[in-house]
Structure formats: structure tokens, C-alpha cells
Chains A and B, each alone.
Chain A
Amino acid sequence: MSLKLNDVTVSRGVGPVISNVTLEVTPGEVTTLVGPNGAGKTSLLESLSGVIGISSGSIELDGVDISKMSRRRRSHAGLAHVQQGRMIFPSLTVKENLQLTARTKADMDGALALFPELEKRLDSATVLLSGGEQQMVVLARAFASKPKYILLDEMSLGLAPVVFLRLIPVIEQIAKTGVGVLLVEQFAHLALKIASDALVITSGHVSYHGAADALLTNPELLKKAYLG
């Protein structure tokens, strides 16, 4: 039972942006993916959810090959992808955003339990919310779809660090309900603290794969990954 990337290569334009990457996301745990800008982190998540196609290798979700499936079918198979840049639906209210994925009242309540502060804003248009609140809506919406695995891409982008701190324990909480989380973050330390596994990716290659703790306790390792 896991979300697996087997020897996946993704090409865009002329060259590969991801080369022979293998990784595994375990249910109930946070796997953190760090690396400098342009290393291919976003492309990696996009290939998992089907935003872009893969050139070789395979993607397995709980033993089922999903690499040929449409984005919609991958979603139904239990994959949720939160893309970069606060992917709210601006013309929808908070409630409507959540209703898109929440099939039952229980799903809705479960999503709202993550962020009780959203309750009093249910009927506001999401476009009027602050950046942090918008990101809460997006995370709650993904959780309401009851995914088995959730991919989070740079949720902190454009948010003040204090605001992002509010999201971190919730991501941990989501993992505790049995969801496998793949986290891409520029706030590497925060992201590594809640992770069990970690990967460092540079220029499309995995340059480190191991325990998150090791990266945390050895800052030189991380600095090298970022600054070359």
C-alpha cells in the first residue's frame, strides 16, 4: 500500500526535467521533497497527478498502475493535488469550494474541523479572503475529497511565515488520519520537521533519499542541496 514512482522520466521541450526518479509515499506519513528552484519538484508532482505526461517509467497507487489514467480518474483513485499558487475558485464561496469535493455532511464537517476559523466565513466569496485563509480553503477542500494520498506544492508561496505556521500542524494532522502526504516546500526546515522521509532533488535527479531527521541534524547536507 503506497504511492510509487518507478524510474520515472519526464521530458518537456528538448530535455528531461525529471530523470529516472524513484520514490514512495507511505500512508499516514509525510514525505518531504526539497531542492532549489527549477530542480523539477513541481514537474514531479504534476506527473503524479497527470497534469503532464511521463516519458518512461510507471506510477502506481496501491498496486494499480495509474500512469495512463486521466486526471479525473486519478483523482477518483484517491489522489489529491494541491497546485502552487492558491488554487481557489474565486467566484465560488468558501462553502461551494468545499462542496465540490465533500459528498456528505460528515466530509464537510471533517474538513471544517481542520480550520474552525473558516466556519464563520462559509458564505464569503473566496476571492475576498486573505492569502492564508484561501490556502486553508484549498487544503480543506483537498481533504474533503477523502484522498488516500495528497500532494502539496509550495503552499507557503507568497504567505508570511507566521501564516504558514498555522498550516503545518494541520498537514501533520491530515497524515495522522492515514493519508500519505508528499510535501514540496521552500521552508525546508518546517517541512522536514513533520516528515519521516525526505528527498533532495537537484536538476531532475534525486541527490538524497533517506530519513528527514538526517537532513535536519546535518545542515551542511541541506545547504549543499540548495546552494550547490
Chain B
Amino acid sequence: MLRVRVASQEKWWLPLAIGGIAIAIGIIIAIVIPADSLFRPTTILVASISLMGLGVVTGTAGMIALCQLSFAAVGAWIVEWFSVNDIWGNIFGNFSFVVYMLIAGVGTAAIGVIVGLPALRLRGVNLAVITLGIAAAFDLTLQKTSFPALVAGKHIARPFGLGSDFGGDKGIFIFAVVTTALVAIAITYLQHSRWGSSWKSVAFSERGTASAGTSVQVAKLTAFAVSAFVGGIAGGLFDSQITQANFSSFSPLQSLGMYVLSAVVGSHLIDMALLGGILFVVIPWILQLLKVPLEWSTVIFGVLGIQALTTGSNLGTDIRNGFRRRRAKAMIPTEVGLASSQAIAAVEIPRGTGKVLLDIKGLTVEFGAVKALTNVTLAVEEGTILGLIGPNGAGKSTLIDALTGFLPEHGGTVALNGVSLDKLAPNRIARGGLRRTYQQDRVPPTLSVGAYMRFVSRGQAKPAEIDEILAFFACPPVRTPLSLVDVGTRRLIEVAASIAAKPQVLLLDEPAAGLSHDEHVAFGDRLRQVPSRYGVTILLIEHDLDLVRSVSTSITVLNFGEVLASGTQESVLSNPEVLKAYMGETELL
């Protein structure tokens, strides 16, 4: 299920190399710098790991979680418990601490999944309040139960038999460097994996994620689990440094501080998490040197936080955008764009195979007393393009929502190639071969074109096929970040990605809105080829009658939630009732 693929495939080794260099630099620092000055650098690394964990759930997956240090506390608690009770000391010897730390990570991840459960239904501020409440309850519990080492009146053994002397401090620093590098490498690969894509997608749009065939539940819970795992590791590492933890290091207020710091620097980016760790330690240190009260550092974080949160920006993204803007021109080839792209050989409007692929019978949707759809019966024939038109508010988008599982209370039945889709969750329907696109932009700007294509197509298209489909729709190449792509083109990429997923039927909701007239024509030329070229049958909702006329095998008109007319282009468009409804000219005739 979890497949790691780095976006720029030719550079998959880069994170490993950077991690290796970082470890080497860490060892040099440990040798050069006197041991009594290594306490702060070690704390920087612990804070950075915590921030990386927070970066996953808050920065990447967009859920406000205010209990990151509770996860660290759980990790520290588990490490201490194993260590104080010396569970496997004789089995793993000097490596037992590392084993305990991994157990702490896994245990904390399990807690993280539980904490993440409310996120399946709650979002935004409600979730923030809940996670803060959990952090507060955790804090009270820790105050009462305290930590195993403190209760037993002992200090835990440091990893690899390191002593609590200066030599030991050097060892701990190197241990922290290696741990940080490993965590950073793991997170980098995860961010570029299917999980990472699902986090970025769920942060931008839950419905879009579900329609891409990905379970929103899994996306959210994995984000929490990974974040908690990393938090637990940070807690264990913290304990290796101080050997006896205290609840006061993990208060809810400090979790809030972590959140604000994470928002200021943008800690979903590894280098920025490191910078955050440095700020976390260095600002108080400088103040201490200047004999200024330490609380001024929190005041500074508070002000920076208000600034960052009001402008909605963070340091990391700003810096990267600055670089990107300079490279942007180089990244998007100038010839991209439907209108200026090479003309495609004219193809006739597709003719179907005669087999009914999507069978909708008696579909009814009610919102309270309002009937949005009444008894809609519609059959989409394999290999065709069905144009669905109708005035604003006729129920076209409601129809798509009902077909794709977002209105589970609808009446009537829907079957795809003989298989019933009723009561299936949206992501199941998408995987079952009925895909959709959206009128609004639901393409997460944090992904690259290639990552998005792979995320949506779910392994149905090989890299070469993805390149071919992108080229066919004159979309920018896979390396382009979606944040540099305009909205109209993003929606074309959404169409291309949905086709790459090889669904049996694809529902397009006004795909050409936002394109110019010339682009409409070019888009229509390509759309006509889709059924034969990619084996995808299409139901097209579109306002632009020119486009509908140029591609549709047959046309259905919806008005006030009912099917007004259905049949061939000529029969439907010459129907006076249709003209009346479509132009709203009730009194005209």
C-alpha cells in the first residue's frame, strides 16, 4: 500500500546523501566543540524533531493539532518505563535504549491514531480545541502519575552505555544527530510517497481526496500516526539527554508555543524545522546573555506568530517561492497551452458500443422540503460522450454529487457495468471505476504535476503514459509545481489525471470554465478522442453549448431537477421546450 517514490526520480539518493553529510558534520562538531557547550545543540535537535512531527500533521495535512508535546511526553514515559524496569537489558545490551525508543515511537503512534480519531469528523478550530483539551488532560494526568524514573528516584541509563559525564554528552550529541538525520530522511521520503500526497491533498480538499480514490480516514490517521511516532522519538531522545523527565517540560502551553513556532517557520520543510529548533534555543540563550528576562523570547514568538498567522505566510514557503519565481519561467515551457498547441487530427463524434455502462434509475435527492432531483433516469452508453445541460440550479452538480457517493441518502439506484454503487463511500466508488472532476479548483497546489498525476491515477498509468496524457492535453510537464500553474490549466490537469486513472466512466463538471474560446475548441478536439484513445466513457456537464455540440454523442437536458429531454443532438436541440428552459424564455413563445 505504501510505495515510496521520489518526485524527481533521478535524484532519489539526494536525501540520503544530505543526511550522510549532516551526520558527518555533526561528528565534526562533536569533536571540535567542548562537551559542556553541546547541551544546547542537542536541545536544538530534539526541538527540530518535534517540529518535524508537527510539520506532518499541521503543515502538510493542514490539521491544527495542539498536543505535540503530549506525544513527546508519552515517548519519554515509555522509554523510562522500559529503562527503569530494565526489561530487555540483557537481550539487547547497549542497544536496548534504541529498541525502547522505537517501541516508544510505535506506542506513541498508536496513541496518535486514537487522538486523531476525532479528526475524522471534526476539523479546523473544533479539532484545535479538542487536541488542546487532550493536551491539558494529559498534563494533569502526568502531574499526578509523574514519570517512572522520577517515581523510582533513579536516572535512566543512557544509550550505548554512555556515561553522564562530558564524554557521554558528546556521545549523546552524536546520537541526536544520527536520530535527527534518520527522522528527516524518513519524513522526506514519506512526504514524496502516496501517503505524503494524500496528506497534502486532504489539507486542500477532503472531497477531492475521496474522489481521487483515497480514503480520507487513512490519510488523516496516518498523518497523526507519523506525527505522533516522530513526537515519541523526540521524547525518547530528550530523555537520553536529561535521563529523568518532568511533566513541566511538556505543558500544553509549550505545545501551543511549538505550534506557533511551526507556523512561523513552516516546519513541514525539514530545513525550516531545523531553523525552528535553532530559534527555539538560540533566542532565549541570547536573551540570557543580554540579561533580559527569558519571557521576552515568548513575547517575540508571540509577535512573530501573530505576524505569520495574519499574513498566512511562513518563512520556509516564502524563501522557496522567492527562488521558484526566478526559476518559474524556465520551468514552464512557453509553448504550453491548449490554444497554441499543435492541432489534433479531427476525429468524429464517438459512437458507442450499444452497451449501457452507467445505469441511473429513479434518482431522487431531497434537501429538507426541497426536491433537488426528481426521479432522474439516465443511461450512459459505453464509448460515448453524454452532454448534460440545463439552466443554473437545474440540479446538474447535485446529480454528480449523488452519483459519486456524497449524498448517500438519495433515492433510486445507480449501477456501473452491472455493479451497484449504492451505499458505497466516495473513495470506493472512485476506485470502482466512476470518477469525477470538480467545478471548483480541488487540485492541491502543494504537489507537483507528476505527484498529483500519480496520486490520482493510483498506479493505473505508467510514467510514460502519464507523460503522454499530459502532452495530449497540452499540460505542463511532471516536474512543474502546481502552485505555478493557473487555475484553468489546473482543471485540465485534473481531467488528465482522472483519465490516467482509467475509470470506466468519467464525470466532468464544467471542465472548460476558465478557458478561452480558442482553448474550448482545442479541448473539444481532444475530448472527442478520449473514449477511443483511452477507453473512458464520459458524462460532460457544460454551459458552453458550442463545446457540448462539438463532442456529444447524445444530450440530456435537466430542468428543475427533472429530465426534460434526452436523445440525439438534433432531436434535443430542436426541441422548443429545451430552448425555452435553457434561455429562460418562458414567456417568449
Contacts and interface: CB of A to CB of B under 8 A. Distances in A.
Q: Do any beta carbons of A and B sit within 8 angstroms of each other in the complex? A: yes
Interface string A29-72: 00000001110000000000000000000000000000000000
Give the size range of B's interface with the partner: 20 to 34
B334 to A, nearest CB: 15
B578 to A, nearest CB: 12
A37 B393 CA distance: 12
Interface in B378-404: 391-393
Contacts of A186: 391-392, 583-584
B587 interface: yes
A15 B486 CA distance: 9
Interface in B535-589: 543-546, 560, 583-588
Given A189-B587, A228-B546, A13 B487 contact: yes
Given A157-B392, A158-B393, A186-B391, A36 B543 contact: yes
B91 to A, nearest CB: 61
Given A13-B486, A158-B393, A228-B545, A189 B516 contact: no
B257 interface: no
Contacts, number: 50
B584 A187 contact: yes
B461 interface: no
Interface residues of A, number: 22
A64 B103 CA distance: 72
Contacts of B584: 156, 161, 186-188
Contacts of B545: 227-228
B479 interface: no
Given A37-B392, A227-B545, A203 B516 contact: yes
Nearest to A84: B392
A115 interface: no
B583 A37 contact: no
A37 B544 CA distance: 8
Contact of B587 (A13, A14, A15, A190): A190
B514 to A, nearest CB: 8
A89 interface: no
Interface string B461-490: 000000000000000000000000011100
Given A161-B586, A186-B584, A189-B588, A37 B543 contact: yes
Interface in B480-524: 486-488, 513-514, 516-517
A36 B584 CA distance: 12
Nearest to A17: B514
Interface in A12-30: 13-15
Contact of A189 (B544, B560, B585): B585
A188 B584 CA distance: 7
A208 interface: no
B488 A14 contact: yes
B394 to A, nearest CB: 10
Given A161-B584, A203-B517, A227-B545, 4 more contacts: A38-B513, A186-B391, A186-B392, A186-B584
